[in-house]
Structure 1
Amino acid sequence: MAANYWSSSQSKYWTFTPSKLSDIRDDLQRQHPKVYEQHPYPDRRHLMIFLRDRLLQLAKRLQFRQQCIATALVYLHRYFITTPMQNVNLYLLTATAFYLASKTEESPHHIRLVAAEARQSWPEFMPGDVARLGEMEFCLISEMRSQLIVWHPYRSLISLKENQDLKLSNDELGLAWSIINDSYMTDLPLTCAPHTIAVIAMFLAVVFLPTAKAAGTLRPLGHDTISNPDNGPFSSLVGRQNISNSFSSVLGNLQMSNHAAAAQNNANYNGKAPAPPPQPFDKEKAIAAAKESEKMQNMIKFLVESGIDLERMIEATQEMIGLYDAWENYSEKSVKDSIARCLKSRGLDS
């Protein structure tokens, strides 16, 4: 295992720019035009939500570490870079990803136990032969070139909690934790460094906290989870009220941070005091409220001084907000039916 993320296989081989990732997927679609045309699948985010729920269903009666689910989701993302979703039994792949991730995260289960639980959960789509899961494991490892170690944002978030200038509360930490879990349904594990995802989650949590308190939907983390990232449930922000309304000012606040960073850079270059940031496009009220918030001021100061790529952070934050918008239209039955039609049509259901 690499001593730090920047020298890891994840950083070198499994982190892409959004444009590069889009090109890879376009190439994959050009290589398999018929399967995409004959068996169109729903929104990729909806599919990842569905697969996450299958992982949680499988793990319900098995002891597992929280990072097991996160690692399995990353394995799925990586596998789909080289293989169309329509070319594989997604139920078998999901069980295999969980089985392999449980070993990687040092929480192993016997292959027969995982296969039996998967068979009981999805009898119509899961083959009864245990050897099929073993074959799928070999295929999954091969597609990932045996690069199985995954760096997650959880520990970066704990480090942010320890930053005395940010003054993050346990409530904000709990919300940020849930947002990190939700980020695995997006492309962020393939396009962002773990610490960037942690910062995005922290920022969104600070924005969302007032509404969460008003709605009574806070689920704070226990002390054990805070001290040990491997413990705790794989919680989600979805299901809490007024998510879209709470995030309405996020991009405006981030843009203010970006202006502040640019002003700071100009000041350093010219030797002059930084000019006040210009008002962003249509978020005047949100920005005014942010300026009056000591918490937001601490956050903006941190972002300006951290040297983080704010343009990329804005794009990634928008992707997270887009996930929650897409989640509102998610239909499990629709996704399940679409997958079932493809598996039966292609003979992948046995």
Structure 2
Amino acid sequence: MAANYWTSTQKQNWLFEPYEIADLREEIQKQHVKVVEQYPLPDRRLLFIFMKDRIIQLSKRLSFRQQCVATALVYLHRYFLFNAMQNVNIYLLTATAFYLASKTEESPHHIRLVASEARQQWPEYVPSDPSRLGEMEFCLISEMHSQLIVWHPYRSLTALKENSKLALTNEELSLAWSIINDTFMTDLPLTCPPYLIAVTAMFLAVIFVPGKSSLELKPTPQDLHSMMDASRFSSLGGRSGISTTIGQALDGSATALGSNGIVKQNSQPSGGSSIKAKTLAAAASSEKMQNIVQFLVESDIDVARMIDATQEIISLYEIWEQYNEKTVKDAVTRCIRGQHLET
């Protein structure tokens, strides 16, 4: 196992440019064009929201560390880089990803226990024979070339919390933690290093706080270890207007992150939005915001990539508002039963 991210298999083998991922997916579609057209599935992000909920559903009666959910979702991202979603029993794969992640994250469960719980939750989709989960585990490990260690943004967020100049509050920390959780529904775990995701989440949390009242978000202050070990996977997704609120907060923060990392102020918030006005006033008078700007410049963060990550997060929240569990479940069911993947 690598002692740090920079020498890890994740950095060497599982970090892609967006166009590379697009090429891989296009190739999969070409190889499986018939089944893809016969069983169309919703947007990939909606499917990952669905799978995240299934992991949490499965783990309700199993003790686990929150990081197991994140690791399982990364495993699913990696698997679907080389496999069509239409060709696998998503319920069985999701249970397998959680089982494997629980071992990787040192909170293991016996295969019979996980198989039994999955069978109880989804009896029509999960075979009673635990060996089927073992077979799927072998396939999952094989697709990832036995490279199972995942470096998450949580560790980088911990380091940011300890930076006295940034002076992150518990509220900002909790919001950043939730934003990081939500990034696992996007391609960011495959396209961005974990530290950049953490910095982006921290930045969004800081500018979001002044305008958050309209959504009545009141995160409970928590210790970092409590958040990591709690059997919850906090999220901002699914709240009405969340993407608009964050977008306005970004606009009203009076920041324009240029390629050189310099933050410039606008003269006034456009549109007269109260959220923009609040955020502009906070940014203009905030020593913290200036310290964040200085931090971005001194740390040589790839600001262009950070902007892309921010846009991807906002796009996720936009589509999340359209999420309908029944619609996604029906599409998955048609695919599984149509190809007899449940047997």
Fold similarity call, TM over 0.5: yes
SS in structure 2 at match of 1:141: helix
Distance (whole Å) between structure 2 residues aligned to residue 162 and residue 108 of structure 1: 30
The residue aligned with 1:248 is: 247
The residue aligned with 2:101 is: 101
Identity of aligned residues (%): 59
Deviations, residues 279-323 of structure 1 (Å, cap 9, x unaligned): 599959758543333332222222222211110100010000000
Distance (whole Å) between structure 2 residues aligned to residue 343 and residue 281 of structure 1: 54
SS in structure 1 at match of 2:247: coil
The residue aligned with 1:58 is: 58
After TM superposition, the structure 1 stretch with the greater mean CA deviation from structure 2, 242-251 or 307-316, is 242-251
The residue aligned with 2:233 is: 234
Contact 2:260 2:303 in 1 (8 A): no
Matched, 1:90 2:90: yes
After TM superposition, the structure 1 stretch with the greater mean CA deviation from structure 2, 286-295 or 157-166, is 286-295
Distance (whole Å) between structure 2 residues aligned to residue 306 and residue 222 of structure 1: 27
| Segments of 4+ moved more than 6 angstroms | none
Contact 2:165 2:288 in 1 (8 A): no
The alpha-carbon distance between structure 1 residues 182 and 349, as it changes in their structure 2 partners (threshold 3 A), is same
Distance (whole Å) between structure 1 residues aligned to residue 170 and residue 93 of structure 2: 36
Deviations, residues 209-241 of structure 1 (Å, cap 9, x unaligned): 233346442222422xx1466412211112556
Q: Which amino acid is the alignment partner of residue 338 of structure 1?
A: A
The residue aligned with 2:122 is: 122
Distance (whole Å) between structure 2 residues aligned to residue 227 and residue 344 of structure 1: 42
Deviation at 1:129, TM superposition (A): 1.0
Matched, 1:151 2:151: yes
Q: How many equivalent residue pairs?
A: 335
Listed as ranges, the matches of 1:11-26 within 5 Å are: 11-26=11-26
Indicate which of 294, 305, 311 corresponds to 1:301: 294
The residue aligned with 1:314 is: 307
Deviation at 1:244, TM superposition (A): 2.4
The residue aligned with 1:189 is: 189
Distance (whole Å) between structure 2 residues aligned to residue 94 and residue 314 of structure 1: 31
The residue aligned with 1:267 is: none
Distance (whole Å) between structure 2 residues aligned to residue 308 and residue 293 of structure 1: 21
Deviations, residues 112-159 of structure 1 (Å, cap 9, x unaligned): 000010001011111111110000000000000000000001010011
Structure 2 gaps of 5+ residues are none
Q: Which amino acid is the alignment partner of residue 235 of structure 2?
A: S
Distance (whole Å) between structure 2 residues aligned to residue 82 and residue 246 of structure 1: 36
Contact 1:28 1:82 in 2 (8 A): yes
Deviation at 1:28, TM superposition (A): 1.4
Listed as ranges, the matches of 1:158-237 within 5 Å are: 158-213=158-213, 215-223=215-223, 226-227=224-225, 230-232=228-230, 233-237=232-236
SS in structure 1 at match of 2:26: helix
Deviations, residues 257-290 of structure 1 (Å, cap 9, x unaligned): 3266369xxxxxxxxxxxxx48599959758543
The alpha-carbon distance between structure 1 residues 326 and 254, as it changes in their structure 2 partners (threshold 3 A), is farther
Deviation at 1:255, TM superposition (A): 5.7
Distance (whole Å) between structure 1 residues aligned to residue 268 and residue 24 of structure 2: 34
The residue aligned with 2:342 is: 349
Distance (whole Å) between structure 2 residues aligned to residue 250 and residue 172 of structure 1: 14
Listed as ranges, the matches of 1:9-48 within 5 Å are: 9-48=9-48
Contact 1:161 1:168 in 2 (8 A): yes
Contact 1:343 1:349 in 2 (8 A): yes
